[in-house]
Structure formats: C-alpha cells, structure tokens
Homo-oligomer: A and B are copies of this chain.
Amino acid sequence: MDRSSPVPLYYQLSQQLEAAIEQGGLAPGSLLGNEIDLAARLGLSRPTVRQAIQSLVDKGLLVRRRGVGTQVLHSQVRRPLELSSLYDDLEAAGQHPATQVLRHETEPATARVAAALGVPEGSEVLLVERLRLAHGEPMAHLRNHLPVGLIDAGPARLEETGLYRLIRAAGITLHSARQTVGARAATAEEGARLAEPEGAPLLTMERTTYDDTGRAVEFGSHVYRASRYSFEFQLLVRP
C-alpha cells in the first residue's frame, strides 16, 4: 500500500484484489481470509479493508457469508452492465466503426421529444441523425434529440467519435438512462437505409439519458439490424 499516493487506500486494495482474482492468483471458490488478519497484515484498519472488499462484492466478484468467510465467485462471466456507447463497443470489438451524419439541425420538439427531454413542446432542440457502419456495412440508424447548446460539435466531429464522448467532453457527468428495447418489421424506407429487405426484423431501442442532476441530456430512437446486432449484458440481483 502506498500511503503517499492520492489514491484512497481502500481503492488501492480493491484493485490489487481484483487483479489477483482476474489473473488467477485467487482461485474461484477460495476463501479470502478474514478481515481482521488482512487489516493487520496490511497495516490498515478493519473498516478500510471492509470498504475495499465491499466494492468487489458490489461488482459481483466476491460473496460474503456471515460465519463462513469471503469467497471468490466461480463466475464464468464478468463485464457488468454499463451505459454503453455503440461506437466504443464496436471499436473495442475491432469492428472499425464509422459514422455518416445524415442530419444535424435544430427543429421544434414534438410532444414525445419534449416530454422525454423535459422542455416545452415546440421549443427548439437539436436533431442528430446518423448511420452507423461497421466494416463498411450499415449496422444501425440513430436518431438523437438534445437540448440546444449542450454540445458544440458539428457534423465533422460527430463522424469521428460517439455522441457520449462529445457529451462528456462538454463537461457533463452522465448518471443514468432509461431504455426500452423492442423489435419490429422494417419499412421499405428503413430496409433501404440498412440494406435489409422490407419486413426484416429490426431491434429498436429508445433511451433517455440523464446527467447527475437528473436533467435529461439526450433522447435517442435507434434501430439496429437484428441480423447483425444484439444487446448483451449482465444483471446483478439486488440483495
């Protein structure tokens, strides 16, 4: 432990434990050893050690049982559910994402957009409509509405990166999002845009994203080719 570091001690410890688990130093199913000894060995207080362990329990890497001990989970999978960026996901998967900006303009908010963003109906909002490609093939059609003035990026920057990065770059801290995922058949127009036949199944996602004060910063209506894309995520049960 490095006491001169600005990184909190509990966080240093949780990262060391996580690394040990990921790299197999702590085998799945093995016991971690009790908190008191661990605290004494590291020269930390018990609450600090507990805080480190609790953060890994919250992440789903450890399980604690009263009277038994703290155990490394047999988990086959990791990766938590995150508020993800399609652009970043594709890039991380080596899919070479690209973006075509189809529209980038302000328009009066419809009732639905106004309700989602919490602005008056008819007030001006920014509409960004994009086609997302992977390996040069269309993957998804993305329509987003944002409050005007939230980001100052033009079409050029939108073609280089994802929307979430631009929102974060504007100093906004994302906090939560409400999503609805469904499916429907492609219209002729949608099919032409996504290189799918009319009637092909499409995955739809509507999402409203909120910042850390609870204000809506983005409302998206997205359509994905079901033949090329599915949502994958991990849920934790609330205790």
Residues of A within 8 A of B (CB): 28-29, 47, 58, 60, 63, 71, 73-77, 80-83, 118, 174-185, 199-204, 210, 212-216, 226, 229-238
Closest 5 CB pairs of A and B: A74-B214, A182-B230, A183-B183, A183-B226, A201-B201
For residue A200, which residues in chain B have a CB less than 8 angstroms away from its CB? 185
Please report the C-alpha to C-alpha distance between residue A210 and residue B212 in the assembled complex, in whole angstroms. 32
Given contacts A73-B175, A73-B212, A183-B201, 9 further A-B contacts (CB under 8 A): A60-B175, A63-B175, A71-B213, A73-B214, A74-B210, A177-B235, A179-B232, A180-B231, A185-B199
Please report the C-alpha to C-alpha distance between residue A81 and residue B47 in the assembled complex, in whole angstroms. 29
Please report the C-alpha to C-alpha distance between residue A202 and residue B230 in the assembled complex, in whole angstroms. 13
- B183–A83 contact, CB under 8 A? no
For residue A175, which residues in chain B have a CB less than 8 angstroms away from its CB? 60, 63, 73, 236-237
Q: Which chain B residue lies CB-closest to A73?
A: B214
- B178–A77 contact, CB under 8 A? yes
Measured CB to CB, the closest approach of chain B to A40, in angstroms, equals 21
For residue A185, which residues in chain B have a CB less than 8 angstroms away from its CB? 199-201
- A63–B176 contact, CB under 8 A? no
For residue A29, which residues in chain B have a CB less than 8 angstroms away from its CB? 213-214
Measured CB to CB, the closest approach of chain B to A38, in angstroms, equals 20
